[in-house]
Amino acid sequence: MAKLYRAAVDSSAFGETFVTVLHYASEGPTASASDAASGFVGAITDGLKATLSTSGHLDAVTITEVLAPGDTSIPDTHVLTLAIAGLYSPSGGDNIPHEVTGLCKKKTGVPLRGAHGWAYGFPIYQSGELNGELIKTTGNYWPKLLVMAAALTDVIVGALTSYDPVVYSRTRHRRGDTNYYFGISSGLASPTTRWLRKR
Alpha carbon dihedral 86, 90, 92, 97, in 10-degree steps, equals -100
DSSP string covering 79-127: EEEEEEE--B--TT---S-TTEEEEEEEE----STTS-EEEEEEE---G
Chain segment 32-83, per-residue pLDDT in tens: 999 999 999 999 999 999 999 999 999 999 999 999 998 899 999 999 999 9
pLDDT at residue 130, as a whole number: 94
* Mean pLDDT value across the chain: 94
- Residue 96's DSSP bridge partners are none
Q: Which residues contact 132 (CB under 8 A, 6 or more apart)?
A: none
Please report the pLDDT score of residue 1 as a whole number: 65
161 Rama sector, left if φ>0, alpha if ψ -120 to 50, beta otherwise = beta
Using the predicted structure, report yes or no on whether residue 90 has a pLDDT greater than 90.
no
Examine the pLDDT at 148 and tell me if it is beyond 70: yes
Quick check: 123 pLDDT over 50? yes
Q: What are the domain boundaries of the chain?
A: 3-195
0.85 exceeded by pTM = yes
